[in-house]
Structure 1
Amino acid sequence: MIDRHLRHVSRLGKHPSRFRLAGTPVITVMIGSLSAALPLIAQSPIMPPFGLLLLLSWRLLRPELWRAWIGLPLGLFDDMVSGQPIGSAMFLWTVTLVAIDAVEHRLIWRSYRQDWLIAAVAIIFCIATGLFFARITGGGEVRLLLVAPQMLWTILLFPFIVRQCARIDRWRVMA
């Protein structure tokens, strides 16, 4: 009889660990960046940049979670894993987070559609500028039209990723 009462422990008044609160978003972005290392063969870039998608999702879902400088270490990790020139994601993600901060200070309230528009602009900016960085560092001649399907696929995938981040966030804040 005592054993039955010990199995049920109330979560009221308990708090999740600091690592769970702060580490979960960072780890999910890093896992998203690791998806670039999957052994998929394609003739054109179609795989969405999951690291960027998760970064934008967490930032738009929980604005208080990160400062703009988080783009530097997470971008470095993404650069090392994805094979992009070192510093490109660091620069692009930090500029994107600073721009989102600037837009947020101008808006009184945000809706889901505005978040999607902000993410779409950020995705187009990051993919197009990443292509430019790859081109100027000797990545060959790649046209913007070639990455247009990747941009479209990534923009359309954003609501699903935000929903998954919201699920993870519910688990993250549970005791």
Structure 2
Amino acid sequence: MNRAAPRLGEPASLWRMRIVPIASVMVASALPLMLPIVASSPALPPLGLLFFLCWQLLRTEMWPVWIGLPLGLWDDLFSGAPIGSAVALWTAASIAIHYISQRIYWRGFFHDWGIAALLVAAVQAAAALIAHPGSPPGRLLGLVAPQIVISMLLVPLFLRLTGQFDNFRLKRR
């Protein structure tokens, strides 16, 4: 029997269904270490956080609320932030998205963009304050503001990329 063509009703690969979302967040968290960029202030957006939020917004039911714990720990290991900061902040963002998903039944693109932009700003500002507790908050947030703005503007691109990864994830072969 020829198995080259997918059959009607055949489910997608279980391996791809589980690995693609987690791998995309993990690779995105580790990617800034592989890029040869040297900067005196944070300029590169948190790629792992952007994918994490976009996956949560695209497929809220896919992950449990506590998924921020292991993925946040992975990001902490690669970002150089104090261990536990991304764990707590990503879990709080996941809880916020699940709460918002229960309250807003019909979300559109601009809703998702606004939710992700607000969460990116809150998580990055809180992470900067956690990483540098003795610094004056105004000066510290002034340093992180360009990174927050860049991250907010990149949310639509990451929503699109997440959608492409989701299409690959759900393909039958």
Query: TM above 0.5, one fold?
Result: yes
Q: Does 1:20 align with 2:16?
A: yes
The answer for the alignment partner of 1:168 in structure 2 is 165
For structure 1, the residue ranges without an aligned partner over 5 or more in a row are: none
Q: What does residue range 40-51 of structure 1 map to in structure 2 within 5 Å?
A: 40-51=37-48
Alpha-carbon shift at residue 36 of structure 1 (Å): 2.7
CA distance in 1, matches of 2:49, 2:108: 21
Query: Alignment partner of 1:48: what SS?
Result: coil
Instruction: Measure, in 1, the Cα distance between the counterparts of 2:83 and 2:128.
Output: 13
What does residue 156 of structure 2 align with?
A: 159
4+ aligned runs moved over 3 Å, structure 1: 5-8
Q: Deviation at 1:90? A: 0.2
2:75 corresponds to which letter in structure 1? D
Within 1, Cα distance between the matches of 2:72 and 2:50?
12
Percent identity of equivalent pairs: 42
1:104 Cα deviation after fit: 1.5
Residue identity in the other structure for 2:168: W
How far residue 14 of structure 1 moved from its aligned partner, in angstroms, is 2.3
Shift of 1:29: 0.1
**TM value normalised by structure 1:** 0.90
Aligned length: 169
Deviation, 1:76, is 0.3
Does residue 1:90 correspond to 2:108, yes or no? no
What is the deviation of 1:12? 2.7
Deviations 1:26-74 (A, max 9, x none): 0000001002313310121110000000001111111111111000000
CA distance in 2, matches of 1:81, 1:103: 29
What residue number does 1:134 align with? 131
- Shift, 1:6, TM fit: 4.8
Structure number with greater Rg is: 1
Counterpart of 2:28 in structure 1 is: 32
TM-score by length of 2: 0.91
Gaps of 5+ in 2: none
What amino acid sits opposite 2:122 in the alignment? F
1:69 aligns with 66
Aligned Cα RMSD in Å? 1.7
Partners of 1:86 and 1:60 in 2: how far apart? Answer: 25
